Structure 1
């Protein structure tokens, strides 16, 4: 896989599909402790008709690099990759933390964002009492147990246990320093009061059973956006892998301008 050296990290990425100036490239950005393969279904579906770019964020998947203290720093990584690939205007599609990155780019570089998709993402980190206790206990339990507890909570009830275990194993490969530093970056993330400045047409897709970032938090963000379409699917926090075909169908309609 190709890599780009940027700010002390080597970012692994995929860049597939036709370079058609008439169709804006799609840029998929994964979430915390995940990797670019969260988007396998979408890559396969869209790459025949569009340029599709996805990356492993620093310290995740096949990318190297230490954690950074802000979501804005991750956004700069994404923009550095797109500058390297000579992509000026694009459609960011971000899951969870990836949606925070997408919103940061839309706020700071609005001319570069044609449309935007937020999947299981919000504008301000707020935690339930249970999630707060889990995060507070993170320094008291073995790291792998901490990761496992977070990943199990991310899936809707009834999702196959073996697939959950596979995601736990993959997430546990993310270095502890990266996981905890980026947890701090997410905790500090807050653009809810500035969301009204983002005029980019935006699709917000959320899982009804998401307990990590509950749907009510997404709806609070949607109210602040001037131009937002909301879709709620029967899934948990890991929509790209829980309901990949349904998510892809929703993306298709939004990109085609169909309600």
Structure 2
């Protein structure tokens, strides 16, 4: 279990797969209160044929460190890991807050991005009425209740309750200071007006039932990217957990540049 020290944090990461392939490495970044195992299905699939890297963000999973106060701080951690691993250029893939981090890296270091993938993510944080209410009462309710309410909302209706409870327990294990600090960092995130600066192909994959970051917010961002492909899947915000195989297939076609084959999804 390799680790890298960056600004007082020990970042745990995985670096797997062959180094002698023709393609650039794939780098996966998880979201708020999650960890690198959000990408287990993709890691198993892609590491058989190319180099794949994923990390636990500071304060999450098996990484130490206080919560980042800005998305830019988390983006610097990702760049530090790329430098440490000698990765000059990659396909950067982020889920939710991880997508915010990925966009920030792409804007700060465009020369290092081959392609960009944003899974259930947006370019400007705008809270729905329900999410705004949760934020307003976050300091008045027990921490675990606050986390549980957010995680339950993240899954599409009908998702198995025991799996949701398991992920609630995992998210609640993230230190309160990390959870709330990163929440505030997301609240301040806004790169929507700069999306046009990203000149590489961008894939936006979103859950149709996502009420955390609704589809209409993502579509607003998609219009701003010069070279964007949109895929909408029958899932909620936790698409990597809800539809892992479908997400992997979508990513595989995008990464390899294969002609799209899109049963069960919409293209915009």
1:146-185 deviation line (CA, Å, top 9, x unaligned): 0000000000000000000000000000000001111111
Name the CA distance, whole Å, in 2 between partners of 1:86 and 1:257. 24
Instruction: Check the 8 A contact 1:106/1:200 in 2, yes or no.
Output: no
Instruction: Check the 8 A contact 2:21/2:50 in 1, yes or no.
Output: no
| Aligned twin of 2:263 | none
| Aligned twin of 2:198 | 198
Instruction: Check the 8 A contact 1:18/1:49 in 2, yes or no.
Output: yes
Q: Does 1:157 align with 2:140?
A: no
| Aligned twin of 1:49 | 49
| Aligned twin of 1:183 | 183
* Structure 2 counterpart SS, 1:22: coil
| Aligned twin of 2:118 | 118
Greater Cα offset, 126-135 or 219-228:
126-135
Name the CA distance, whole Å, in 2 between partners of 1:2 and 1:46. 20
Name the CA distance, whole Å, in 2 between partners of 1:217 and 1:129. 14
| Aligned twin of 1:65 | 65
| Aligned twin of 1:134 | 134
| Aligned twin of 1:109 | 109
Name the CA distance, whole Å, in 1 between partners of 2:187 and 2:253. 32
| Aligned twin of 2:91 | 91
TM-score of the two chains, using structure 2 as the length reference:
0.96
Provide structure 2 residue ranges, at least 5 long, that are not aligned to the other structure: 261-268
Q: Does 1:23 align with 2:27?
A: no
Name the CA distance, whole Å, in 1 between partners of 2:161 and 2:121. 24
How many residue pairs match? The answer is: 259
Name the CA distance, whole Å, in 1 between partners of 2:5 and 2:114. 27
* Structure 2 counterpart SS, 1:115: strand
Q: Does 1:6 align with 2:11?
A: no
Question: Cα offset for 1:255?
Answer: 0.9
| Aligned twin of 2:213 | 213
Question: Cα offset for 1:21?
Answer: 5.3
Name the CA distance, whole Å, in 2 between partners of 1:189 and 1:162. 32
